[in-house]
Chain A
């Protein structure tokens, strides 16, 4: 079968949020020809999202049709998303920065591995990620929430419910503030402000929540990139120590083979498929001199509770928005390593209609309503903490020869493991968090209704960890692989650990930092006058709208 060959300067594999950050940067600051290759399909435009959202609300149908590929799955995978925009098409839009301590757990607490970069070094790229994505946030107490510049948008206001819950958390001595979010608090970058549709996850029907398709649409409209969909890259091939080409198959009936030739290759396929591609590319894996491709998969687990409080709340005002604190992330060194975030939401748990009253009597009609009303004088808070899990070397992605993709390639297999310290501390950590929730409840004269612990590690990362030493890391601190000068792995796979807070903003910041290194590699050019004018125009529009 004839192989179709495409040539460009930069080939980006994957089209999720980190790929979007890289393409955004390179297209603005270089004249490089950029090709983005995505295995999955386009997703519904903003115009169609209300209808998809309604089917989800009515029947639980997925609002993202064809957002995955049949047969491309794995044991231990966190999500099947494989589409234009990736997982960030249905993320919650929650964008905390990680804490300075996350980058030096070995030095400060004697656990895990220090990153080769510090929080302070990453701060400018956090800022740029917040500006590109559009983050609305409140500055927390500076000693807890250090940052170089203000957020690009004012915070989402605390709802009436959250204001009341904040009185409770203040009384408990826990400083909390508005959760930074990639949701517009005002019109931003041509997208609408949030109007509290309450379905940020899984779908924002108005485009107020950032998703990577917004970046792809803009870049395609300006002819700054070429995006090929339905094309699965199956391996990278070397020529003289450099990556010479990426080989893949079109996901059409014939599986037409395709080849991408480029000067630089950027693997931006997330925590699972990035490692999978490198391992699939050579018998011992590509960029795998250290033997660490696929190793040190990282994430965090959560413990949550629902707390009954003598506070009247009205669930549904803005139910996906929350209070947040970094109070417990910035903990001093203790004998046992426990670091976690804390968030508080309004909740309807315990305030739902019931068919039977407390005594088990059947309630119908107005009696049912009256019984329901009798339970609305009090409120329920949902409290949840992600706690840091130190990744083990054998928390790993390997190839599973017994499971094959539709193209006959071995599929990945993921095994999640805590390192020995975290494994030992798991029980005590979860007990401590349950006790913390109980203590918080008591301060508010309330009681814990129930607690739950998720078994899986959320916001997965790692697999191609960064480092200075090629013997103990896959990429350098900028995401360039130690072994191949024109191969970059960006975003989640670069992470050394996964903190105890949502990771997407950090993945985006790391990708932007890699993109800057790529710009230096490719050569920065002054933006053409027309583009400069357009950017100035957009900047003015943003300022006017504020």
Chain B
């Protein structure tokens, strides 16, 4: 209910409908496979995320990034107990739910698109989308990638931070199959990771 309160008043009817469809998708996601195949439409929020991913992420990371981010977002539990390590006895909790603000920000992209003469952000040509994204990021004070996407000040930063913290992104940057945080044979650790080109060539 708090999510509804966060988005109703300032939004257009279309944005509200878009949010409602993504909220329905959230419920559907939680209920898992109870829904029949093909019964779940692509929510507007997911389409917007996909449109953002296409103009912000490196080409090789675009495919599936929006879906992964959407699923990660849906499965988040605000207020869960965080890791408490050495040196501090304080018990901390995961941040407040960023999703209402992120949905508002996604809806705002549609409002920007309206000024460009498009019904939705996703329907804009790539160059126009990038212009809006750049202008949005430039307007953020100290916009930078964050290690914890949940603390991102904007959904664009969250999506980028989420996608670029994945081991696949790191492999792409280092052009090698490092496979960080994956189970890998210990005895292979002295070897140089295999170049990514070797995998492509197979």
A→B interface (CB under 8 Å) = 55-63, 65, 68, 73-74, 76-80, 90, 156-160, 163, 185, 193-199, 201-202, 206, 314-319, 321, 348, 351-356, 362, 364-366, 368-369, 372-373, 376, 454, 456, 458
Is B94 close to A, CB under 8 A? yes
Q: Is the CB of A59 within 8 A of B190?
A: no
Q: Who on chain B is nearest to A354 by CB?
A: B145
Is B34 close to A, CB under 8 A? no
Q: Who on chain B is nearest to A186 by CB?
A: B186
Is B91 close to A, CB under 8 A? yes
Q: Who on chain B is nearest to A313 by CB?
A: B174
A61 to B72, CA, bound (A): 13
Chain B: minimal CB distance from A226 (Å): 30
A202 to B85, CA, bound (A): 8
- What are 9 of the A-B contact pairs (CB < 8 Å)? A80-B89, A157-B190, A163-B190, A185-B186, A316-B178, A353-B145, A365-B55, A369-B172, A373-B174
Is B47 close to A, CB under 8 A? no
B80, B84, B189: which contacts A80 (Cβ < 8 A)? B84
Chain A: minimal CB distance from B178 (Å): 4
Interface centre among B59, B60, B143, B183 (most CB of A within 10 A): B183
A362 to B156, CA, bound (A): 13
What residues of chain B lie closer than 8 Å to A456, measured between beta carbons? 87-88
With known contacts A62-B82, A316-B181, A354-B144, A78–B89 Cβ distance under 8 A: yes
A376 to B86, CA, bound (A): 31
Interface centre among A79, A158, A317, A454 (most CB of B within 10 A): A317
With known contacts A59-B77, A373-B175, A353–B82 Cβ distance under 8 A: no
Chain A: minimal CB distance from B78 (Å): 9
B→A interface (CB under 8 Å) = 55-60, 72, 75-77, 80-89, 91, 94, 130, 133-134, 137-138, 143-145, 148, 150, 157, 160, 164, 167, 169-170, 172-176, 178-187, 189-193
If A160-B191, A353-B145 are given as contacts, then 12 extra A-B residue pairs at C-beta distance below 8 Å, sorted by A number, are A59-B77, A60-B94, A61-B81, A68-B84, A160-B189, A195-B186, A314-B174, A314-B176, A317-B193, A365-B57, A373-B175, A454-B87
A68 to B84, CA, bound (A): 10
What residues of chain B lie closer than 8 Å to A56, measured between beta carbons? 83
Interface of B is mostly: loop
Chain A: minimal CB distance from B165 (Å): 8
A315 to B93, CA, bound (A): 29
B77, B148, B182, B189: which contacts A197 (Cβ < 8 A)? B182
Q: Is the CB of A352 within 8 A of B145?
A: yes
What residues of chain A lie closer than 8 Å to B80, measured between beta carbons? 55, 59, 61-62
Q: Who on chain B is nearest to A196 by CB?
A: B184
Q: Is the CB of B186 within 8 A of A353?
A: no
B60, B84, B172: which contacts A62 (Cβ < 8 A)? B84
Chain B: minimal CB distance from A221 (Å): 26
With known contacts A62-B82, A157-B186, A355-B143, A317–B173 Cβ distance under 8 A: no
What residues of chain B lie closer than 8 Å to A61, measured between beta carbons? 77, 80-83, 94
Chain B: minimal CB distance from A20 (Å): 20
Chain A: minimal CB distance from B23 (Å): 20
B59, B82, B180: which contacts A365 (Cβ < 8 A)? B59
Chain B: minimal CB distance from A419 (Å): 21
A58, A193, A196, A369: which contacts B58 (Cβ < 8 A)? A369
What residues of chain A lie closer than 8 Å to B138, measured between beta carbons? 362
Q: Is the CB of B134 within 8 A of A159?
A: no
With known contacts A80-B89, A376-B174, A196–B145 Cβ distance under 8 A: no
Q: Who on chain A is nearest to B91 by CB?
A: A80
Chain A: minimal CB distance from B64 (Å): 16
